[in-house]
Amino acid sequence: MTEYPSDPRPKLDPVVVREMLAGYAIANEFMEAELIEQLASMSDEEARAVDRDLYAFWAGLPEWTREGLERLEPLQLESLMLTRQAFEQMAVAQGVV
């Protein structure tokens, strides 16, 4: 029979969290540099082609889909901000930051 701890929330190891965040930061820097390099090497015509392709995809969506996506964008941003605040509060409470 499995025994359950009295506190079901796992404890975060501050060292592991710091290492994980440092790894994410390095990966983000690498991906951003790669994207900047890729965008800088694009010709004007290549950039316009990407823009046309994105617009063609968007325009090809059914009207109800486009309207739904437009309504979801502010909600998605709000959700991301609330999630970030929750993680920040949790990290402070657990002494990670």
What are phi and psi for residue 10, nearest 5 degrees? -70, 145
Q: 6: pLDDT confidence band, cut at 50, 70 and 90?
A: low
pTM summary value: 0.42
Q: 62: pLDDT confidence band, cut at 50, 70 and 90?
A: confident
pLDDT tens profile 74-83: 888 888 898 8
pLDDT for 53 beyond 90: yes
Q: Give the Cα separation of 91 and 10 in Å (integer).
A: 13
Q: Give the Cα separation of 17 and 8 in Å (integer).
A: 19
**Beta carbons of 88 and 97 less than 8 angstroms apart:** yes
Name the CA radius of gyration of the chain, rounded.
21
Share of the chain above pLDDT 70, in %: 92
